Amino acid sequence: MKKLQDQPKVKKTTQLQKVRMHLEEFGSITGLEAFRDYAIMRLAARIWTLKHVHGMDITKTTKTGKNRFGDEINWAKYTLRKPEEKQFNVFTHST
């Protein structure tokens, strides 16, 4: 019978890796999706790290809707911008 310490170590996928993979596969993510699919409660913190530490081009859009009680609510939708979606800036482009 194998002992627990004899088992090979399996690396866990980090929250950052999960958010990055989700953005790369689906293009966007909301806090509800992050919580429901990955049990991530601090999505904004993970997005900040992906943007400022890992250099990913992620934009935030504030969405508005109604909850199940009819109250108006706001939430953030984070979208990964692909290189071809970046705006061409004529002021920084040299010929």
Model pTM? 0.77
Q: Which fold has domain 15-85?
A: Arc Repressor Mutant, subunit A (1.10.10)
* pLDDT average per 10 residues of sequence, the chain (95 residues): 66 95 98 98 98 97 97 98 65 51
Domain ranges of the chain: 15-85
Q: Is 90 exposed, middle or buried (0-12, 13-18, 19+ CB in 10 A)?
A: exposed
Q: Which residues, at least 6 apart from 51, have a Cβ–Cβ distance to it below 8 Å?
A: 57, 58
